Amino acid sequence: MLNSEQLEKLRKAGRVSAEARDLGLSMVAKGVRYFDVAEEVEAYIRKNGCKLAFPCNISVNDIAAHYTPSVGDKLAFEVGDVVKVDCGAHIDGFVGDTAGTVEVGTNRFSALIDAARNARDSVMEFIGEGTEINQIGKVVEMTINSMGYKPVKNLTGHQIKPYNLHAGLSIPNYDDGNTDPLEAGMIIACEPFATNGEGLITSGRPGNICRIARDRPPTEPALREFYDYIMEEFSTFPFCARSCDWPKANLLLNKLVRQGIASSYAILKEVKGGCVTQWEHTVYVGGPRAEIMTTY
Ligand code: MN
Ligand code: MN
């Protein structure tokens, strides 16, 4: 179980990430650049006493996750785009991880957007200590199927531990038969993805989001300084060059990747090009009914 001081850190990180999520979603409109939304979301998190738990993901249409703009990215939203904003704040390693979806200027995908949202919110009605993991996926899949769509089966919710975004349990978005119960003290991210495609994602090209893969600092002095900055600013969390307040971060990060010290996350796409929607909350399992952290 978390002590009260730890729980307050988690609550604040959760609230700030939720506010940042909604700020990002509210900015999405025709002609607005992905870059500007990501920067605003991250600035909000930092202005409010938190650090970034990962770069703001802005994943559009059949891209399910792991796109974040780089400096100079000119991509802008177009009418009909379905835009997922996924962001995370942390305080001393206690993470709020949250996401939502909007569409730009149309209402063609409102049912698909609602499918993932209703799935998440249905889970919020019962999740807590003792909940069997497959009951979460069962409700997610039933809710999404009942609206005529499929859950993305190879993207999952997850347990979160201090300074570890994906730690311990995976929480599938379908009934995988795992009857292990959630235990008191766990922090869990519930994140249903819904699609009108096949219900599977595949790894595309490497994106801008990286993590330190190996705890072996580089030998070159300039690179070592940058590495030390990353460890200080982002620790074990995913990060990207755009979020680094460091000269030539892009160049230096590429070097770390080439040396195998950092590795980049692949951009995840729906296998049949289906449109993907996502809603996510982080909850704290303090008792029979979990407390939603990523709300305000
Ligand atoms: Mn997330
Ligand atoms: Mn997550």
- pTM for the full predicted model: 0.98
Of 129, 166, 198, 291, which is the active-site residue? 166
Residues by chain with Cβ below 5 Å of ion ligand 1: 86, 97, 99, 280
| Cα 125 to Cα 7, 12, 133, distances in angstroms | 21, 22, 15
DSSP SS3 for 172 = coil
- Distance, CA 193 to ligand 1 centroid (Å)? 11
Which tens digit of pLDDT belongs to each residue from 260-274?
999 999 999 999 999
Active-site annotation holder among 62, 81, 141, 280? 280
**Catalytic residue list contains 166:** yes
pLDDT recorded at residue 216: 87
**3-class SS of residue 180:** coil
Among 42, 81, 97, 270, the one annotated catalytic: 97
- Of all residues in the chain, the percent with pLDDT exceeding 90 is 99
Is 97 one of the catalytic residues? yes
Q: How far is the CA of 90 from the centre of ligand 2 (A)?
A: 13
In this structure, which residues have their CB less than 5 angstroms from ion ligand 2? 97, 189, 191
Contacts of 247 (CB under 8 A, 6+ apart): none
CB atoms within 10 A of CB 7: 16
Please say whether the beta carbons of 262 and 104 come within 8 A.
no
Q: For the chain, how big is the Rg over CA atoms in Å? A: 18
CA 8 to ligand 2 center in whole angstroms: 20
Q: Assess whether 40 carries a catalytic annotation.
A: no
The DSSP line for 102-147 is EESS--TTHHHHHHHHHHHHHHHTT-STT-BHHHHHHHHHHHHHHT
* Residue 221 pLDDT level (bands cut at 50, 70, 90): very high
**What mean pLDDT comes out for the span 20-33?**
98
Q: Are 171 and 131 in contact (CB under 8 A)?
A: no
Residues 144-176: tens digit of each pLDDT: 999 999 999 999 999 999 999 999 999 999 999
The pLDDT of 182-201, averaged and rounded, is: 98
Q: Which of 86, 103, 141, 270 is catalytic?
A: 86
Catalytic site includes residue 86:
yes
Write down the mean pLDDT value for the chain.
98
The one catalytic residue among 66, 103, 141, 158: 158
Q: How many secondary structure helices (H) and strands (E) does the chain include?
A: 6, 14
